[in-house]
Homo-oligomer: A and B are copies of this chain.
Amino acid sequence: MKKLTLRELNRVSVVDFQSMKKSPVVVVMDNIRSALNVGSAFRTGDAFAVEKVVLCGITAQPPHREILKTAIGATASVAWEYHEDTIRAIEKLRNDGYQIVAVEQAAESKTLEEFPFSENEKYALIFGNEVTGVAQPVMDLVDHCIEIPQFGTKHSLNISVSIGVVLWEFIRNRKPV
């Protein structure tokens, strides 16, 4: 099998990306400790054409050396904003018409493959701190909770991997282009 060259991949330019139709989804990062995870969210958000990344609390913001390392330039294409308070960020997203969804392991969560993403809704997906997860006061505000089924010994997936898996499930049936 012949691999495609970079030219054959025919990727969009940063300018074209900014004006193109996006996946109706926002990635909210609630007090993420690792700037490497933030950079990875930008890179994945670029690939899956998310509307924006919302950085909250202690989550690092661009420009930042470690974000740069894993974003490899995607901070130039993907829109982002910062909010000191995750709860204020969520209230704003709700006012803007987003369904608020935590990615967490909770009593009332739905598993990822059974979560009924609606074609007529837009979603804000909240990913929480590497150790403590999405904060309980934030959990108290969400409309829904998605859980990624896991079968092993560890209690969770890496947050960068979780973002990729959930965004893929979201767009696999509703491509942005």
Counting every copy of the chain, the complex holds: 2
CB-based contact B107/A150 at 8 Å: no
Asked whether A145 and B11 contact (CB < 8 A) given A44-B158, A158-B43, the answer is: no
Residues of chain B within 8 A (CB-CB) of A156 are 47
- A150 with B43: CB separation less than 8 A: no
Interface residues of A (CB under 8 A from B): 1-4, 6, 9, 11-14, 17, 20, 23, 40, 43-49, 70, 72-74, 76-78, 102, 104-109, 112-113, 133-134, 136, 139-140, 142, 145, 148-158, 160-165, 168-169, 171-173, 175-177
Partner of A164, one of B14, B48, B70, B157: B157
Cβ A47 vs Cβ B4 within 8 A: no
In contact, B151 and A175 (Cβ under 8 angstroms): yes
Contact of A1 with B161 in the complex, beta carbons under 8 Å: no
Do B72 and A161 have beta carbons less than 8 Å apart?
Answer: no
| Nearest-CB residue, chain B, relative to A70 | B158
For residue A14, which residues in chain B have a CB less than 8 angstroms away from its CB? 153
Q: Is the CB of A133 within 8 A of B3?
A: yes
